[in-house]
């Protein structure tokens, strides 16, 4: 793990340095102009959040059924990153909405789903913190159910919204790329790399904490 | 070894007491259900308190939403499902408090029955309890909001059944796993409500579709099928994760 | 692996091997490299002060918890290989008694008998007799005194004639008559071939009852030897309690 950190950090830094130039050179979207460019920051946050969700779910399953401490370390680290990148998206989203359409929150499906997932994984961390001894397993169950429910969240919230359409609609950028695809993909790459970097750091922190516990135990002998 | 009798070979007298077949999955689940029923029938404590709470819930929401004698559209299905969710959460806490009181769940886990059967027994009890609630709540809400709840009774029953099963499936698992937690009372709603939001959405919007005039059956069917899929996923996951979660 | 677990009722053992078992929660070590062997006919006194790890060891022996390292073997088999059939041979009684207070004595016994696949029609009346509760059989347990509940809980734990009998502090709050009743029962069980483990911090009661002593303190096994008289004086300093 430690060996991966430096090359990963370098690559991440490089991508982050070059991405703003790509974003600046990307064409303006017709109605929102400069404001739309928050999109290159907002959407990749979701991508990183869902990466965290996947890692947490898999780590939770492996921990619950195999008792692997390594898996548990990945699960808790990923859950924290879900909250981090989710918060990123939940702040940039309303900022964008306010500037673009004058309203902070309009129950946009993606924002709503992310808010719920944020709550679920916030619950994951609450259980670990306040659940008492043995709460890592309980949290693992929350992680698994959180991941299992996300497709249903996606379907039900989307249908829930589109059956009652609001007047302002999120522009469908995928339909007209116009040179926005490349900066978007690079931005996504940047955020995924950042996710992996932070995951690496956080897992190592958890490793150190577990090693410290082992030392305490050994000291008693 | 000094002082102990010579090692006894697999002793007939100790090998088995008189037995009547091995408890299977279904037998265990039904035994647990019957036991909970036997406890409840003596005082009706959980049934009555949950029911009164659900009715109180309905009234609180009614006072919050009704203006000049009129409720907003779709208030009826919304209030129905919220009342079921809130009273269900309380009932879950109370049911497992009974198993925690003398640590009887530990004794059940020690028995040779398959552990998921214990979960199913508890789940069935929960479903029956919530069904009793709904039997009272639906006419009450139809009455208070002049809502045509009984126009399509079978469809409505299907919604209530699948929604209740979905909610109870997750709730029973979470309530059981939180039993040893000091903060179980507050953690249960924190964990349960976000995860069961799709159940609420499907239940409310599906019921609302049924109550439109004329009833929007294709939409209702769509919501119902999502609910059904969720039930399958939740039940499978709960049965799969129950045993590892119950190990100390 | 699951398919090869023995059927309930076909599995039995006459020795339990605890092998370098440790159990810890974060930084707290509950048990540390405990090894001992329990044999059929033994009455093992698990002695030690509060917090020594006795209850943790009992939980591990009962298969309700798993060790963080080391293993417990029942007749050579691990708990996860023997599965439900192993649980069928284990009886546990702890301080909490595992009785439903809202149900009657008969209903409690009936429920657990059926869960264990024991013929309730014969086993329950016999158990009520042995507990001297036949006349109070249909009264709710919540109206029982501690001694009555203890007798009932004892019979409930033994309904299925377990091979491994685990009692965690069974004498708390009992008067002398009740204590001698429980002690006589344990001796009879061991004579029939059961493996009896009694965890207690009361040295006076253990004296004369147990055939072997396993001394636990701070999660560690300090001594494992045949019992002799004068437990209190011999172990008082080791346990450090009055």
Q: What is the pLDDT of residue C239?
A: 64
DSSP conformation class of A30: T
Q: C181, C25 in Cβ contact below 8 A?
A: no
Contact state of C117 with B10 under an 8 Å Cβ cutoff: no
pLDDT attached to residue A177: 58
Digit-coded pLDDT (tens) for B126-138 = 999 999 999 999 9
B170 touches chain A (CB under 8 A): yes
pLDDT at B154: 92
Q: Is the pLDDT of residue B2 over 60?
A: no
CA distance C153 to B3: 29
CA pair distance A10, A16, nearest whole angstrom: 10
Contact B241, A64 (CB under 8 A): yes
Per-residue tokens: A129: 């913190």
Distance between first and last Cα of chain C: 49
Task: Return the residue in C1, C26, C69 with the most chain A beta carbons within 10 A, the one to mutate for interface testing.
Answer: C26
Sign of the dihedral through C-alpha B197, B199, B204, B206 = positive
pLDDT at residue C9, as a whole number: 77
Structural domains of chain A ordered from first start:
2-165+181-220 (1.20.120)
User: A188, A123, A119, A197: which is closest to A153 by C-alpha?
Assistant: A119
Looking from the CA of B245 toward its CB, the CA atoms found within 13 Å total 28
> A119: nearest CA in chain B?
B194
Subunits with 3+ Cβ pairs within 8 Å of A are B, C
pLDDT confidence tier of residue B8, bands split at 50, 70 and 90: very low
* Interface touch A217/C24, C-beta < 8 Å: yes
C-beta of residue A133 within 8 angstroms of C-beta of residue C25: yes
What letter would DSSP give residue A105?
-
Q: Are A183 and A40 in contact (CB under 8 A)?
A: yes
φ, ψ at A76 (rounded to 5°)? -70, -35
Residue B197's pLDDT band (cuts 50, 70, 90): very high
- 8 A C-beta contact, residue C82 and residue C2: no
C34 backbone dihedrals φ, ψ, rounded to 5°: -90, 130
Q: What is the mean pLDDT of each run of 10 residues along chain C (242 residues)?
A: 70 90 84 92 89 90 92 90 90 92 95 91 92 91 90 93 92 84 90 92 83 89 81 69 46
| pLDDT at residue C135, as a whole number | 92
**Cβ distance of B3 and C85 shorter than 8 Å:** no
The reply to whether C235 touches chain B by the CB within 8 Å rule is no
Q: How many beta-carbon pairs under 8 angstroms link A with B?
A: 85
Q: Residue A152: pLDDT above 60?
A: yes
DSSP annotation of B72: P
pLDDT, one tens digit per residue, over A56-111 is 999 999 999 998 999 999 999 999 999 999 999 999 989 888 888 888 888 888 88
> Residue A185: CB partners within 8 Å, gap ≥ 6?
none
Task: Quote the tokens at residue B36.
Answer: 């909970």
| Assigned token pair, A85 | 């990148």
A112-137 pLDDT tens trace: 999 999 999 999 999 999 988 889 99
Could you tell me the residue ranges of all domains in chain B?
23-246
In chain A, the percentage of residues whose pLDDT exceeds 90 is 48
Cβ-contact A152, B230 below 8 angstroms: yes
**Residue C94 touches chain B, beta carbons under 8 Å:** yes
A170 has a pLDDT exceeding 50:
no
Query: Would the pLDDT of A2 be above 80?
Result: no
The reported pLDDT for the residue numbered B203 is: 95
DSSP symbols for B98-160: HHHHTTHHHHHHHSSS-HHHHHHHHHHHHHHHHHHHHHHHHHHHHHHHT--TTSSHHHHHHHH
Give me the mean pLDDT over the B172-193 stretch: 94
Three-state SS for chain C is: CHHHCCCCCCCCCCEEEEEEEEEEECCEEEEEEEEEEEECCCEEEEECCCCCCHHHHHHHHCCCCCCCEEEEEECCEEHHHHCHHHHCCEEEECCCCCCCCCCEHHHHHHHHHHHCCECHHHHHHHHHHHCCCHHHCCCEHHHCCHHHHHHHHHHHHHCCCCCEEEEECCCCCCCHHHHHHHHHHHHHHHHCCCEEEEEECCHHHHCCCCCEEEEEECCEEEEEEECCCCHHHHHHHHHCCC
Q: Tell which of C102, C207, C208, C225 to mutate to test the B interface (max B CBs under 10 Å).
A: C102
Please check the confidence at residue B3 and state whether its pLDDT lies above 50.
Answer: no
Q: How many CB pairs under 8 A join A and C?
A: 13
Q: Give tens-digit pLDDT for B19-75.
A: 444 458 999 999 999 999 999 999 899 999 999 999 999 999 999 998 888 888 889
Q: What is the DSSP string of B76-104?
A: HHHHHHHHHHHHHHHHHHHHHHHHHHTTH
Please indicate whether, in this complex, the C-beta atoms of A217 and C29 are within 8 angstroms of each other: yes
The answer to whether residues A41 and A90 touch, using CB atoms and an 8 Å cutoff, is: no
Supply the Cα-derived Rg of chain B in whole angstroms.
22
pTM for the full predicted model = 0.90
CA atoms within 13 A on the CB side of B14: 26
d(CA C97, CA C149): 8
Beta carbons within 10 angstroms of residue A110's beta carbon: 17
In this prediction, residues A176-193 reach a mean pLDDT of 80
Joined together, the tokens standing for residue C78 give 């691990």
């Amino acid at each position: 793990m430690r060996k991966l950190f430096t090359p990963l950090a370098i690559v991440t830094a490089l991508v982050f340095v070059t991405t703003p130039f790509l974003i600046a050179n990307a064409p303006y979207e017709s109605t929102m102009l400069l404001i739309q460019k928050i999109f290159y920051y907002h959407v990749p946050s979701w991508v990183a959040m869902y990466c965290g969700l996947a890692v947490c779910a898999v780590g939770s399953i492996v921990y619950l059924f195999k008792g692997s401490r390594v898996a548990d370390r990945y699960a808790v680290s990923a859950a924290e990153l879900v909250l981090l990148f989710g918060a990123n998206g939940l702040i940039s989203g309303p900022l964008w909405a306010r500037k673009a359409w004058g309203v902070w929150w309009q129950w946009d499906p993606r924002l709503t789903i992310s808010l719920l997932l944020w709550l679920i994984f916030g619950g994951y961390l609450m259980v670990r913190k306040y659940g008492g001894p043995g709460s890592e397993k309980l949290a693992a169950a929350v992680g698994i159910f959180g991941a299992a429910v996300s497709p249903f969240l996606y379907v039900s919230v989307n249908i829930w919204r589109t059956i009652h359409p609001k007047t302002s609609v999120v522009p469908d950028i995928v339909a007209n790329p116009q040179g926005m695809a490349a900066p978007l993909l690079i931005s996504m790459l940047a955020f995924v790399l950042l996710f992996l970097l932070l995951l690496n750091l956080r897992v190592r922190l958890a490793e150190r904490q577990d090693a410290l516990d082992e030392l305490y135990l050994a000291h008693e002998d | 070894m000094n002082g102990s009798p010579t090692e006894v070979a697999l002793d007939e007298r100790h090998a088995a007491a008189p037995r009547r077949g091995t408890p299977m999955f279904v037998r265990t689940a039904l035994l647990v259900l019957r036991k909970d029923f036997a406890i409840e029938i003596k005082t009706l404590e959980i049934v009555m308190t949950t029911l009164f709470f659900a009715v109180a819930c309905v009234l609180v929401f009614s006072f919050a939403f009704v203006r000049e004698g009129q409720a907003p559209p779709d208030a009826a299905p919304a209030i129905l499902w919220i009342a079921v969710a809130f009273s269900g959460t309380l009932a879950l806490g109370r049911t497992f408090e009974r198993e925690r009181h003398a640590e009887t769940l530990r004794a059940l886990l020690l028995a040779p029955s398959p552990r998921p059967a214990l979960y199913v027994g508890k789940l069935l009890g929960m479903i029956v309890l919530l069904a009793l609630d709904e039997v009272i709540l639906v006419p009450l809400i139809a009455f208070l909001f002049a809502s045509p709840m009984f126009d399509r009774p079978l469809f409505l029953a299907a919604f209530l059944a699948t929604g209740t099963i979905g909610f109870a499936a997750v709730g029973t698992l979470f309530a059981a796993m939180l039993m040893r937690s000091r903060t179980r009372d507050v953690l249960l709603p924190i964990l349960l409500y976000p995860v069961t939001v799709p159940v609420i959405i499907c239940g409310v919007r599906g019921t609302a579709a049924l109550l439109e005039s004329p009833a929007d059956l294709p939409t209702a069917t769509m919501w119902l099928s999502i609910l059904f899929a969720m039930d399958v996923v939740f039940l499978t996951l709960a049965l799969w994760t129950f045993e590892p979660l119950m190990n100390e | 692996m699951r398919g090869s677990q023995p059927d309930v009722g076909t599995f039995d053992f006459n020795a339990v091997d605890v092998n370098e078992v440790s159990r810890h929660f974060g930084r707290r070590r509950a048990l540390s490299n405990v090894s001992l062997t329990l044999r059929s006919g033994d009455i093992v006194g698990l002695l030690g002060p509060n917090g020594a790890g006795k209850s943790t060891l009992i939980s591990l022996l009962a298969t309700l918890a798993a060790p963080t390292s080391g293993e417990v073997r029942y007749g050579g088999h691990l708990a996860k290989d023997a599965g439900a059939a192993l649980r069928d041979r284990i009886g546990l009684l702890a301080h909490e008694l595992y009785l439903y207070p809202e149900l009657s004595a008969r209903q409690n016994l009936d429920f657990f008998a059926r869960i264990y696949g024991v013929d309730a029609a014969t086993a329950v009346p016999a158990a009520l007799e042995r507990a001297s509760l036949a006349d109070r059989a249909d009264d709710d347990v919540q109206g029982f005194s501690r001694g009555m509940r203890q007798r009932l809980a004892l019979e409930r734990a033994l309904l299925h004639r377990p091979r491994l009998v685990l009692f965690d502090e069974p004498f708390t709050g009992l008067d002398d008559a009740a204590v001698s009743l429980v002690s006589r029962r344990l001796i009879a069980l061991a004579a029939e071939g059961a493996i009896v483990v009694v965890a207690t911090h009361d040295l006076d009661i253990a004296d004369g009852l147990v055939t072997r002593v396993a001394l636990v303190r701070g999660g560690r096994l300090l001594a494992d030897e045949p019992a002799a008289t004068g437990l209190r004086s011999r172990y008082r300093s080791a346990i450090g309690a009055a």
